[in-house]
Copies of this chain bind each other. A is one copy, B any other.
Amino acid sequence: MHGYSAREAERLRDQAGALALLLHHDTRYPAGAGVLECGCGTGAQTVLLATGSPAAQFVSVDVSPASLDQARGRIEAAGCRNVAFNIADVFNLPFADACFDHVFVCFLLEHLADPPGALHCLRRVLRPGGSITVIEGDHGSWYCYPQTAEATRTVQCLIEIQARLGGDSLIGRRLYPLLSASGFASVRVTPRMVYVDSSRPDLVESFSRNTFIAMVEGAREQALALGLMDAAAWDKGIADMYRATEADGSFCYCFFKAVAHAPGAISS
């Protein structure tokens, strides 16, 4: 049993590694760089940033004290000493103009009613030539095999619920125009597509089941309460999505990563 648990823990680390590699492998900050991570949540990305760029100095902020407590715990558990935490809102950052070398945001803009306003606030605290990195998903990029109308409709519910909350879960495809219109220069967007079939049981488990379907399942009560679907159709949609994680299925989703610069001298 212990042997199994150890192997299981190893497997879980490998799983987390596949998605982290896809999204974060090309984010590295030089020694001494000052980096603002805005909307750090419970610190899932903070640990990757801090360990990936051990000689950079991070300031990670979030609006939720409870999330910051969790993030602090993760960073301590990882033994990192290069992260300072602050309670702060992207629209009201308690930092001087141009005081950061780099800015990093991940899964933040999708929740905001005013992404251009947020980018404007982030640009203010970024020095000329400094880089901004933005990573977001796009729920409209999801598809699978076999795919049914009910499964498609459950994902559509998620998109509609996010829209009613003022967010945009189709924001990945908008990163290029958003950053360009916000005055950033040399905007470069790269898609980070997750393709999963049963030759990758680790990704079937970690991404298709435990990340994506779990996220959709979490919207059940809201979708039913809003009358977007009835319970039977919803449950069939979820079962159909699990069906696509079987040996003869496939599952696709795309994240988008943008890197751009504040106008001015080129960042080192």
Contact = CB atoms under 8 A, between A and B. Distances in A.
| A181, A188, A252: most-surrounded residue (chain B CB, <10 A) | A252
A191 B193 contact: yes
A140 interface: yes
A248 B180 contact: yes
A177 interface: yes
Contact of A197 (B138, B176, B249): B176
B250 A176 contact: yes
Nearest to A144: B173
A198 interface: yes
Q: How large is the interface on A (under 10, 10 to 19, 20 to 34, 35 or more residues)?
A: 20 to 34
Nearest to A171: B145
A155 interface: no
Contact of A173 (B140, B143, B173, B181): B143
A176 B249 CA distance: 8
Interface in A239-259: 247-250, 252, 254, 256
Interface in A168-208: 170, 173-174, 176-177, 180-181, 187-191, 193, 195, 197-199
Contacts of A190: 195
A181 B198 CA distance: 13
Interface centre among A147, A173, A180 (most CB of B within 10 A): A173
A222 interface: no
Contacts of A177: 145, 197, 247-250
Given A173-B144, A174-B250, A199 B188 contact: yes
A70 interface: no
Contacts of A141: 143, 252
Contacts of A170: 145, 147
Contacts of A249: 177
A188 B195 CA distance: 11
A94 to B, nearest CB: 32
A160 to B, nearest CB: 14
A189 B180 contact: no
A63 to B, nearest CB: 28
A191 to B, nearest CB: 4
B199 A195 contact: no
5 contacts: A140-B143, A173-B250, A177-B249, A188-B199, A191-B193
